[in-house]
Each structure stands twice: as C-alpha cells, then as structure tokens.
Amino acid sequence: MDVAGKKAIIFGGTSGIGLATAKQLALMGAQVIAISRSPEKAGELPSGITVKSCDVRDQQAMAALFGSCAPFDILISSATGGSRAFGPFLDMDMDAYQASFDKLWGYANVVRFGAPHLGPDGAIVLVSGAPARRTRPGQVALGSVGGAVEAFVRAIAPEIAPRRINVVSPGTIDTPMLALSGEERVQRYQKLTQANIIPRAGTPDEVAKAIIFQVENDFVTGTTIDMDGGWLLS
C-alpha cells in the first residue's frame, strides 16, 4: 500500500504510540483522523491530522463515527480502553482484572464496526504488548489481555480477507502513560529494562515504524511483530 493520499483512522491517536503513528502517516501524505476520549489533551498537531472524540467502548458512538468518516483505507488502534490492573493475581481485585479487558472489547468494536467500511485493500493494525507471551510477575492482567488480542487477530484474519489485520507487540516504551518525570522517570525505565538485550525503553516512533510496515506490506496478515528490545529472550 502506498499511504500517500489514503485516509487513516487512529484510535489513541493523540498520545504515545498512536500519536507517533499519526504524525508519521501525515508526513507520508496520508489524511489522518486521530480519535481520543480526551481530544483536548492532544495539543497542537501537524497539518493533515484531524482530531475527533469517541470512546471505543461505546458501540453506538463507534458505529456513528465510522459512518461519518467512511470510506477509509487504514484502521489502527492503540487505545487502552480504560484502566489496567497490576500485581499478584491472588491479591487482585477481580473487578479491576475484568476492567482490564476493556482494551479487548474496544479493539473488538474497532474491527466489528470499522472493517465493513474498509476497501478490499484496507489494513488494520492493533497494539498488544510483550507480556502476552512472556508475562513477568504482577502482569497477569496485561498478559491475559494481550494474549486475547493476538488470538483475536489470528482468528479474524481469514474472515475479513482480502482486508488485512496485524498486531504490533511493544515492550517497555517511553510514553506519557508513565506518570513520572525527571530522574525518577529515568530510574524507573532503567529498572524495567535492565534485563533486556537492549537495556533501554523503546520510543513511540520506533513502534510506529513497525505499525506502518504492517500497513504498507500487502503480504502480511494475522502476524505479530515484536518491538520489545529483547524482552522475550531476556
């Protein structure tokens, strides 16, 4: 796919990985619609990016949004859908564990209501996470949800063909999701990545390049790309 002149919809497109992807696609000549629950937090964006508001958990709002934006060629979601639970499973609040799956339900809504508006050459990319296949202590919720996302993509790929759907699985990425600053932020990322083969946090731009690869390469579907600095091998 040549993304120049194509229309892309990106959920979670005003922060972190989604924003980096939106900026790169816009620079490549795509028309980008960035979707967020809180679009006022986006700040100033480059030309070529339009911001709209929607909650991926709201099926009616999602259907209306897609109808108003159709047709489009590229559909990407990095939206978390809500809160995420951390800590040992046997001590976990089960409501918090269940709420972590809002990410999966959000992705399901993105595909269910968005895919029918894609042309036969359309591409979908979702974002999971390294704990899907190597879950470290305290990451049961992250691993469960990420694993479900990747299984969903493998299951749905044959059904929506010739449209394509893929997953990018990031490791520890330096995004605004970590609410720390200064030396405390640096030390946290050093601790999180010290066992990795590449002992640093990745950048949103690095993950965005993998997402764009899956958009552009017409021979890739049902596939997960690991962007984790060696998380799975360390």
CATH code where residue 198 lies: 3.40.50.720
Cα distances (angstroms) measured from residue 94 to each of 65, 129, 144? 32, 21, 13
Q: Is residue 145 part of a domain?
A: yes
CA–CA gap between residue 134 and residue 203 (Å, rounded): 20
pLDDT for 65: 97
Give the dihedral sign, CA 112/47/19/147.
positive
Q: pLDDT at position 81, please?
A: 76
Could you say which residues of the chain have pLDDT below 70? 41-42
| Boundaries of domain holding 29 | 7-227
In a domain, 119, yes or no: yes
Threshold 0.85, pTM exceeds: yes
- 233 within a domain of the structure (yes/no): no
**CA angle, 231 then 140 then 81, to 5°:** 95
pLDDT at position 62: 97
Count: domains in the chain: 1
Q: What percent of the chain has pLDDT over 90?
A: 82
* Tokens coding 23: 């900026």
Residue 232, domain member (yes or no): no
